[in-house]
Structure 1
């Protein structure tokens, strides 16, 4: 990836800590010396359970805030913003796909897809048009008025992907989005994510335990290595 490609997100010298047990337990700590995600780039994030992969996603999304360091989206810092401001930025500029999909079962597929538009107070007319276009591309157009509780696992995942992309985000963050799917469905979901993210020049960061998928990404990072400062002459992660 060329170094002059626009940066979708950047982390510098971030430290995040939290308690993992009783008062005597050592706190969990995630340190990120440097991480840069470029527009149109697909990056896989690996590491054992408990190593901080989900924490990294939540920091980039502004769900968590670091104790030290800087986090930028498209060059603008978000680490010091108030929670409501971070939430608004997240709705407008970040697409999120989780393993459990996080759909509202009492809403139909279309209303689930449009949630980020409503939360970000965006243009619902334009958003609905984009939602229908994404639904067509993802093969769920006939299901838009079906209540989400009645959708299959694969259909729910496609709704979650459409929801993540409906605002044309500059950054798409996925936390084990294929973890509940069979290998064939997992490959199809990744195809859709990569195709849609690249088409709209969004940076894609996907946490995964499935190492069979890693060859599909532009880059693979191990969360355990992010604390290590890059040596002189070494490419920044």
Structure 2
């Protein structure tokens, strides 16, 4: 019954036109997500790459990331909204703060995961520290770095819904209005829209990742996985023969 009501709400022509329509709210939601991910990337990615490259500040990064993850989303959005006198800046800053930890972790882990032998070889060829970072470590760190971007995007898509509590017409508005009047069809319909948006963005970023990650790196990863699988199979055969 609830899902039938949600489908009816989603297909209602009244919800697809006007300033509070579903397309308008999707656009506002996307705009806030884009601003938050770009703002967080400008801060977290260079910092994560630098810490991963130099090996300094890793402990502080982990502690700071855990502290940021522990912040209550709704409380942070409301606090910054009030401190900045309303408007959109407080919401964007709050979303940026929440998007920083996965981006930091992805950039830092990506550089740390690079084969040290490759890095030493680059240094032995006379590359400077910055050349090693941009020409060797960054290309090899792209899979984990883009994974951090995907995680941050999904988190922001979900948490941007709380902006409706301060009067911003994101996809959280159907959730809030549905709970207020006990219209569970509207509530479930809003949740479905958020889930579909998250899935669409994740698939889009996965496609972008396939285009950006060097093919040689992808092939090397597959070969390493193949070797590990073959080794594991051989070990199982040895254990079986001993038994």
Structure 1 or 2, whichever has the larger Rg, is: 2
Instruction: Name whichever structure is richer in strand by fraction.
Output: 1
After TM superposition, the score normalised by the length of structure 1 is 0.26
Instruction: Name whichever structure is richer in helix by fraction.
Output: 2
Relative contact order, higher structure (CA 8 A, sep 6+): 1
